[in-house]
Amino acid sequence: MASKRPSVLKREREKKQAERAAQKREERARREASRSEGAGAPVATYDDLEGYGIVQPPRDRDAG
């Protein structure tokens, strides 16, 4: 079997590198999309938490 020329090997390396870069971009886009889905989730207030018996309302630090 004849060996490949360096230019062919270089193109193959560049192609693999470009494919890996594209795969990383797609993976990052998927992660950011899944992260942004939860961004609009409601946040419980102290009143909500107190109603569930989870936490006491915040106290003033000056009160002693």
Residue pair 50/56 in contact by the 8 Å Cβ criterion: yes
Residue pair 46/39 in contact by the 8 Å Cβ criterion: no
Domain boundary assignment for the chain: 7-36
Rounded mean pLDDT, 30-38? 76
Prediction pTM value:
0.48
Rounded mean pLDDT, 9-38? 90
Residue pair 26/20 in contact by the 8 Å Cβ criterion: no
Neighbours of 50 (CB within 10 A): 13
Look at residue 16 in the predicted model and tell me its pLDDT: 97
Rounded mean pLDDT, 5-28? 95
